[in-house]
Amino acid sequence: MGADPGTGADVWLTYLYGLIGAVAFIVALLLTVVLHEAGHLLTAKRFGMKASQFFAGFGATLWSTRRGETEYGIKAIPLGGFVKIVGYTSLEKIDPADEPRAFYRQPAPRRAAVIVAGVVMNLLLTFLLLIGLAAGVGIPSEGAATTVVRRVSPCVTAADVCTARDPVSPSKKAGLRPRDRVVSFGGRAVGDWNQLSAAIRVAKPGTTVPVVVERHGSTLTLPATVADLGGSGYFGVEPVARTQRLGAVRSVRFAGRFTGDMTVSIVKVVADIPHAIPKLFGHERASTPGGQAGSIVGGAEASGQVFSSSDTWRDKFTSFILLIASLNLFVALLNLVPLLPLDGGHLAVVAYERLKALVFRLRGRPDPGPVDMTKLMPLTYVALTVLVGVGMLLILADVLNPIKVPQ
């Protein structure tokens, strides 16, 4: 990127790109939450409910304006947003004039639609980001990996991230750089990734082999000592893959398939968090799925690492879009958990009310009305305490024991 590695200009440029990446993530997070709340707002207004406030951020109000009956504005802490729908629970005290338009007085299907609208907004954004990526930027072609180096692995590991105890990778020790093209490995000419990976696998661990690379039009021979990983030779490079733009139908299929894969991964990570908590502050944090869970701090750090990496801007953009798509999917999935104060908890309350009303009707009794929310408040406080506690724990872990994402 202009300056040689290690120069002062290059270091400052790396810091600058890292800062840009972190800020970009915070902005994307804010937009993710605001769009989630916008889903609630637009649906509530469509059904004639009264929304008195719609704000980006929390804390002190920096700016606001009123449009009709809704106050729109920006608050000081840019880490979320909220919409205030009058009468969202039966515990809220409201003006008698607003009673007919209160949320809890509306038919169950309308309340359910408003509740799930935020999740739908995040899922829609996830799909649009993935479709745009596949159709506009392109995705790696199947079997199109080349011998051009995309990333030099910093350590010897089978995991996605490195720990302090992992030894330095042979490729890093040898001095390989991104965009180098490997011409031969251990005396064997390689023309594609399959040939290169085969040459690496058959190399005897512990032996030093010549690696011939082409860099900026010049040919260099770099000695590399092959490492052992699972009984096979390990070198530690990831290839550049040729990309292709997909048509509309294939882009939609890609988005659906990728969303499914991300959903499985997110569920595995979240389900493993209790098991990983004792390891969050140790060198083995990244050894389990739950240990790779991150907070807002970790997300900003990961985005900064993406922007400051030696990848091409095309690859950086792709990684950032995938990060934001996974963020939106996580917000959607989290809000589907049937616990108050999450959307899933409110949806569960609506479902319980209708089920109870059906049972009463079958018994010839009148509709019992809304759920007594005071009875649910203890459970709500417990759920909120757990969510906040885990969130603070992950923030602390990301500050004191951050995960190094692949560069």
Per-residue pLDDT tens digits of the chain, which is 407 residues long: 333 444 566 788 888 999 999 999 999 999 999 999 999 999 999 999 999 999 998 899 999 999 999 999 999 988 788 999 999 987 888 899 999 999 999 999 999 999 999 999 999 999 999 999 999 998 877 667 888 998 888 888 877 667 777 889 999 999 999 889 999 999 999 988 889 989 998 888 999 999 999 999 899 999 999 998 888 889 988 888 778 899 999 999 999 999 999 999 999 999 999 988 888 888 778 777 888 888 899 999 999 999 988 778 888 899 999 999 999 999 999 999 999 999 999 999 999 999 999 999 999 999 888 888 888 889 999 999 999 999 999 999 999 888 776 55
Read off the amino acid at residue 13: L
- Cα angle at 44 between 114 and 128, to 5 degrees? 60
pLDDT at position 21, please? Answer: 94
pLDDT at position 336, please? Answer: 95
pLDDT at position 140, please? Answer: 77
8 A C-beta contact, residue 121 and residue 83: no
pLDDT at position 288, please? Answer: 79
Coil, helix or strand for 2? Answer: coil
Cβ count near 298 (within 10 Å)? 20
- Cα angle at 327 between 324 and 333, to 5 degrees? 145
Q: Which of 37, 69, 71, 238 is catalytic?
A: 37
Cβ count near 343 (within 10 Å)? 23
Q: What domain range is 219 assigned to?
A: 141-243
Closest CA to 149 of 275, 74, 241: 241
Domain count, the chain: 1
CATH code of the domain containing 187 = 2.30.42.10
Interhelix angle 313-335/248-271, rounded to 10 degrees, is: 60
pLDDT at position 285, please? Answer: 83
Coil, helix or strand for 289? Answer: coil
With a threshold of 0.85, does the pTM exceed it? no
Q: What is the DSSP string of 352-391?
A: HHHHHHHHHHHTT-----S--GGGTHHHHHHHHHHHHHHH
Identify whether 77 is part of a domain. no
Alpha helices in 223-272 (DSSP H): 248-271
Identify whether 110 is part of a domain. no
pLDDT, tens digit (0-9, with 9 covering 90-100), for 54-85? 999 889 999 999 999 999 999 998 878 899 99
Count CA atoms within 13 Å of residue 287 on its CB side.
14
Answer yes or no: 301 catalytic. Answer: no
Identify whether 176 is part of a domain. yes
Identify whether 355 is part of a domain. no
d(Cα 273, Cα 269) in Å, to the nearest integer? 6
Identify whether 161 is part of a domain. yes
Identify whether 193 is part of a domain. yes
Identify whether 340 is part of a domain. no
Identify whether 338 is part of a domain. no
